[in-house]
């Protein structure tokens, strides 16, 4: 008992001393119920700065639910009960005094299906800065260009910024959504299966983008695609039936999983 | 063992194709039936009334002599009525729909209110007339005025506008709202910048339908005591007035043949007014769509 308790602590200390990265999200004893259904059970996870953290697991394991708590989008669902604590930069986001708009300004989100607004490409990217009070056209133009460049979309759309966003292909739309998210210069980017609706080439582009973005942002990505998790993430959390079965550096999870269930899942024996 | 016997299936194929064709013909006939009736109606009215429709008809006060009679007071009355009904009912209706769809919690009380609003849309218009008579004409002492009639008509069409606006708001994809909230937008910003621009065409379609009903409605106005014959114009919204349907009703009740033709001409004016309102709605719609 004592041995199992001590050894992970040593491991954490080791990792911290090597990387010296700050913790972005500290989740402790998080539980969530959808009505009677216990969807997340005693989750404890620490997510570090400037890393890509992948969350994998079969459908219905609670991975998207967990992601939606991190920017409190879960509040849009009715009949949800949450206990526990999630510290974002040392402040409990589940505290009622934490203004949800403030949180979402720092924590951006990219959704499963590209969901650009029915506006021009320019207006899509300028939306965030505008709602937060930036009116100066020159500043807005600079933000739009910078964000589109960061999302590797600028060269494809620079001549047609005033066209409707729906004229873009699915992959371009998803990169536009990433650009829209970058425009408010968030600290963390949450991605909920961002490539599941895209073709392989668009998927590759997004993956490369994610690798590039982690230099400046902390990224948490939910994915069904295990190769994707292996390719782009630093750490991987494996969720099953609302529990975190294993959370470790990605290379470890995929080469030497500790838990039998993790091994079964990543080798494709179920899920 | 085959479950799929291609021979017998092919034998029945012809019947299936014929049934399909039959269905198509029935639906087409249903559409043509309505179109035909409408055509006959329009033809009768236009052929009867067009000869009486001129500038003099539009500019003349009603008169006992058919050759001097016009729709001036009724036309101005209808326009004034719309000037009260349109802003009051659209603002109240859309605001109510926004509250119910965007802000209200999804509980039994909200469900109860929603059901009752739908029920109100089915209440006979004469009941609204009685309500208007009690509340606006008598209790609030507005008299038989444009304002009292306008408020009564607003109540009458409010449920239609609310239900149409609710449907239009519901049709806005949740993914757009989520995208906006996820950027840190407040509910109000999301509604104004994302939801309403998408929902406006649907809201306007419902709004025009409701206003069309208000402009053609007579029963509640009869209860309010609007005159069938009025030879002077209202000076403000607190004055006595009359509207096109009342004037048309008056003329159709006269024994002389000429008055029936005048009624037809009045109906044409009413139809043109309706078309004009539709045209305005299209203009507003286009203006909103140009924003993005």
Q: Touching check for A241 and chain B: CB below 8 Å? A: no
| Confidence (pTM) | 0.82
Mean pLDDT, rounded, for B71-91: 92
Q: Which DSSP symbol is given to A158?
A: T
Per-residue pLDDT of chain A (271 residues; tens, 9 = 90+): 344 444 444 444 444 445 567 899 999 999 999 999 999 999 999 999 999 999 999 988 999 999 999 999 998 888 899 999 999 999 999 988 999 999 999 999 999 999 999 999 999 999 999 999 999 999 999 999 999 999 999 999 999 999 999 999 999 999 999 999 999 999 999 999 999 888 999 899 899 999 999 999 999 999 988 889 999 999 999 999 999 999 999 999 999 999 999 999 988 877 5
Specify whether the CB–CB gap between B219 and B170 falls below 8 A. Answer: no
Token pair 């207006």: residue: A123
Interchain pair A131, B197: CB under 8 A: no
What's the CATH code, domain A2-266? 3.40.50.300
Interchain pair A78, B181: CB under 8 A: no
Count of CB contacts below 8 A, A vs B? 67
Q: Touching check for B184 and chain A: CB below 8 Å? A: yes
Smallest Cα distance from A72 to chain B, Å = 9
Query: What does the domain layout of chain B look like in residue ranges?
Result: 6-52, 58-290
d(CA B180, CA A227): 31
pLDDT band, very low/low/confident/very high, at B7 (cuts 50, 70, 90): confident
Residues in A touching B200 (Cβ below 8 Å): none
Q: Which CATH class is domain B58-290?
A: mainly alpha
Q: Touching check for A113 and chain B: CB below 8 Å? A: yes
Task: Give the nearest partner residue to B175 out of A111, A123, A180, using CB atoms.
Answer: A111
Contacts by residues B112-119 (CB-CB < 8 Å, ≥ 24 positions apart): B114/B166, B117/B159, B117/B162, B117/B163, B118/B159, B118/B163
Residue of chain B with shortest Cα separation from A133:
B185
pLDDT digit string (tens) for B214-270? 998 889 999 888 888 888 888 888 888 888 899 899 888 888 888 888 899 999 999
Residue of chain A with shortest Cα separation from B288:
A119
Task: Give the nearest partner residue to B184 out of A76, A101, A116, using CB atoms.
Answer: A101
Task: Determine whether B1 is exposed, middle or buried from the number of CB atoms within 10 Å of its CB (0-12, 13-18, 19+).
Answer: exposed
Question: What is this model's ipTM?
Answer: 0.87
Interchain pair B183, A105: CB under 8 A: yes
Select the residue from B179, B191, B193, B285 to test the A interface by mutation, using most A Cβ atoms within 10 A.
B179
Residue of chain B with shortest Cα separation from A77:
B106
């Amino acid at each position: 008992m004592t041995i199992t308790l001590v050894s992970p602590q040593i491991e954490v200390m080791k990792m911290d001393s090597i990387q010296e990265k700050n913790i972005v999200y500290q989740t402790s004893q998080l539980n969530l119920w959808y009505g009677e259904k216990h969807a997340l059970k005693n989750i404890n996870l620490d997510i570090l700065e400037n890393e890509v953290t992948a969350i994998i697991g079969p459908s219905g394991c609670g991975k998207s639910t967990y992601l939606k708590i991190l920017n409190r989008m879960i509040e849009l669902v009715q009949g949800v009960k949450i206990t526990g604590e999630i510290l974002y930069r040392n402040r409990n986001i589940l505290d009622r005094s934490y203004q949800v708009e403030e949180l979402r300004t720092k924590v951006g989100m990219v959704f499963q299906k590209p969901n650009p607004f029915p506006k021009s490409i320019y207006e899509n990217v300028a939306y965030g800065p505008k709602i937060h009070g930036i009116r100066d056209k020159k500043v807005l133009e600079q933000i739009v260009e910078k964000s589109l460049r960061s999302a590797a979309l600028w060269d494809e759309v620079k001549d047609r910024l005033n066209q409707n966003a729906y004229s873009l292909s699915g992959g371009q739309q998803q990169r536009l959504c990433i650009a829209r998210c970058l425009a408010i210069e968030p600290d963390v980017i949450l991605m909920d299966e961002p490539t599941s609706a895209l073709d392989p080439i668009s998927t590759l582009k997004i993956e490369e983008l994610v690798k590039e973005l982690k230099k400046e942002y902390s990224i948490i990505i939910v994915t069904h695609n295990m190769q994707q998790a292996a390719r782009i993430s630093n750490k991987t959390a494996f969720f099953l039936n609302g529990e975190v079965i294993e959370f470790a550096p990605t290379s470890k999870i995929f080469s030497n999983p500790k838990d039998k269930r993790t091994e079964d899942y990543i080798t494709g024996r179920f899920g | 063992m085959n479950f799929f016997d291609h021979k017998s299936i092919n034998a029945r194929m012809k019947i299936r194709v014929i049934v399909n064709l039959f269905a198509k013909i029935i639906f087409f006939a249903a559409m043509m039936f309505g179109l035909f009736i409408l055509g006959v109606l329009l033809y009768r009215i236009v052929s009867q009334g067009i000869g009486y429709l001129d500038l003099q008809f539009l500019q003349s006060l009603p008169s006992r002599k058919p050759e001097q009679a016009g729709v001036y007071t009724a036309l101005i009355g209808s326009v004034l009525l719309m000037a009260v009904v349109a802003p009051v009912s659209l603002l109240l209706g859309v605001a109510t729909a926004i509250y119910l769809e965007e802000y209200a919690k999804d509980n039994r009380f909200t469900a109860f209110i929603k059901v009752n609003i739908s029920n109100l849309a089915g209440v006979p218009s004469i009941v609204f007339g009685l309500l208007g008579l009690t509340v606006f004409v008598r209790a609030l002492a507005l008299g038989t005025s444009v304002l009292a009639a306008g408020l009564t008509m607003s109540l009458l069409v409010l449920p239609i506008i609310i239900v149409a606006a609710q449907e239009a708001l519901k049709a806005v994809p949740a993914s757009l709202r989520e995208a906006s909230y996820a950027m840190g937008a407040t509910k109000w910003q999301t509604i104004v910048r994302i939801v309403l621009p998408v929902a406006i065409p649907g809201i306007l379609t419902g709004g025009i339908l409701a206003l069309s009903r208000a402009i053609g409605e007579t029963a509640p106005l009869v209860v309010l005591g609007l005159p069938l014959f009025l030879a002077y114009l209202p000076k403000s919204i607190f004055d006595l007035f009359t509207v096109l349907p009342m004037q048309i009703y008056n003329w159709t009740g006269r024994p002389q043949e000429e008055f029936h033709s005048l009624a037809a001409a009045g109906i044409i004016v009413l139809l043109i007014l309706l078309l004009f309102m539709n045209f305005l709605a299209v203009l507003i719609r286009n203006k909103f769509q140009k924003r993005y």
